[in-house]
Amino acid sequence: MKTKHVIDLESLSISELMEIIELANDIMRDPGEYSQVCKGKILATLFYEPSTRTQMSFKTAMLRLGGSIIGFDNPQNSSVSKGESLKDTVTVVGGYADIIAIRHSLEGAAKAASLYSAAPVINAGDGGHLHPTQTLTDVVTLYNEKGTLDNMCIGLCGDLKNGRTVHSLIKTMSHFKGNRFVLISTPELSVPQYIKDIMNASGCRYTEMRGLAEAMPMLDVLYMTRIQRERFKSYEDYERQKGVFVLDREKMKLAKRDMKILHPLPRVDEISEDVDYDDRAKYFIQTVYGMYARMALIMKMLENDDRKPMPRQFDTHSTRCTNPNCITYTEEYLPKMFRHLGGDMLLCKYCDGRNLI
């Protein structure tokens, strides 16, 4: 793999992505063959935000490859509670571990960590921004359950504004041939403009819909998501959005026979429990694919042995990102980095937020 860190799956070429999918499938076929390939290597999981699947599947992945694990799942038990900066934590852990998986509630946190870590960094979810290893999980699931990654009508339903798994999945699937998206949400929770720009730039068709039942008959895949309560300003705002979209047995009657239902989990109330017994429901097997996908990713990333010296100083821009959820807002020492979008628009390299010069 050319890239050292995996902050966004966009840094992987399609052929690198396909290699990871094939490797995940090989491991699945013969796990014993791979049970010692990471012997002597250490994965650090730095989870600043709650997680069940992502954290445990990363740990299980490393253990099943013969490696070891360190880390925290509650920053209050680490020096973060004493006020340690992300930079200092990562600089130190990057010296202990061979690879780091980080989850954080702020957008761009994994990118920030990658600036200071000698070890490769994997983004295990950064606020409402991206979740590349969930997307790897999703593509391994689709590849195995649909037999292709092309020419599909993919419905995404729920919190498309705050759902980082949605953003990462659209970005990746828009690189494959002939996919189109049906975006089912309330107007308040529709996908951010920068994701629409990505679909437009890649020539992918998309439609926004307000009802799940009307969308059902046209879908090859339905990606359900929960309403992300923790990203709302108030509980009242969340209450107004919850329970709007619920997939149940009645709606499943409208779906194609070979449609597949995916969900990154956790589920709250958006899929009724009786759908679990429909053979089109793939959200539990999806978690198993996710473990193999992470095993393949860890293996590929550890092939590079590029440990850069630390610490490094970076040039900083005079503009400050105006996204209050951007990591640069809180960790003020971080160098301000932007990409010029043309005109007077700057794109924050951490959170993808748009800023006027």
Least Å distance, CB 222 to ligand NCD, is: 16
Residue 286 as a binder of ligand NCD (CB under 6 A): the answer is no
Take residue 6 and report the two structure tokens written for it: 């995996």
Within its chain, how far is the Cα of 15 from the centroid?
19
Least Å distance, CB 50 to ligand NCD, is: 8
- 134/323 with CB nearer ligand NCD: 134
* Residue of the chain from 67, 120, 125, 132 that contacts ligand NCD (CB under 6 A): 125
Take residue 268 and report the two structure tokens written for it: 């709250």
Least Å distance, CB 168 to ligand NCD, is: 9
Please identify, among the stretches 75-83, 112-120, 225-233, 240-248, the one whose residues bind ligand NCD according to the rule CB under 6 A. Answer: 225-233
Least Å distance, CB 51 to ligand NCD, is: 6
- 85/186 with CB nearer ligand NCD: 186
* Residue of the chain from 94, 127, 155, 264 that contacts ligand NCD (CB under 6 A): 264
Residue 180 as a binder of ligand NCD (CB under 6 A): the answer is no
Please identify, among the stretches 28-36, 60-68, 173-181, 220-228, the one whose residues bind ligand NCD according to the rule CB under 6 A. Answer: 220-228
Residue 59 as a binder of ligand NCD (CB under 6 A): the answer is no
Least Å distance, CB 309 to ligand NCD, is: 33
CB 270 within 8 A of CB 246: yes
Q: Identify residues 292-331 at the interface with ligand NCD (CB under 6 A).
A: none
Residue 44 as a binder of ligand NCD (CB under 6 A): the answer is no
Residue 355 as a binder of ligand NCD (CB under 6 A): the answer is no
Contacts with ligand NCD, 152-171, as mask; x by CB under 6 A: ------------xx------
Number of CB atoms found within 10 A of residue 210's CB: 13
Within its chain, how far is the Cα of 221 from the centroid?
18
* Residue of the chain from 3, 89, 123, 134 that contacts ligand NCD (CB under 6 A): 134
Residue 54 as a binder of ligand NCD (CB under 6 A): the answer is yes
Q: At what angle do helices 86-96 and 109-116 cross, to 10 degrees?
A: 60
Please identify, among the stretches 26-34, 145-153, 221-229, 231-239, the one whose residues bind ligand NCD according to the rule CB under 6 A. Answer: 221-229
Residue 265 as a binder of ligand NCD (CB under 6 A): the answer is yes
Instruction: Please tell me the distance from the alpha carbon of residue 235 to that of residue 189, in angstroms, as a whole number.
Output: 15
Cβ neighbours of residue 251 closer than 8 Å, sequence gap 6 or more? 212, 213, 216
Q: Which of 47, 42, 50, 41 is closest to 266 using CA atoms?
A: 50
Please identify, among the stretches 204-212, 224-232, 234-242, 253-261, the one whose residues bind ligand NCD according to the rule CB under 6 A. Answer: 224-232
Instruction: Please tell me the distance from the alpha carbon of residue 344 to that of residue 239, in angstroms, as a whole number.
Output: 38
CB 103 within 8 A of CB 133: no
Residue 131 as a binder of ligand NCD (CB under 6 A): the answer is yes
Least Å distance, CB 53 to ligand NCD, is: 4
CB 349 within 8 A of CB 111: yes
Residue 132 as a binder of ligand NCD (CB under 6 A): the answer is no
Please report, as ranges, the residues that interact with ligand NCD according to CB under 6 A: 53-54, 125, 131, 134, 164-165, 225-226, 228, 264-265
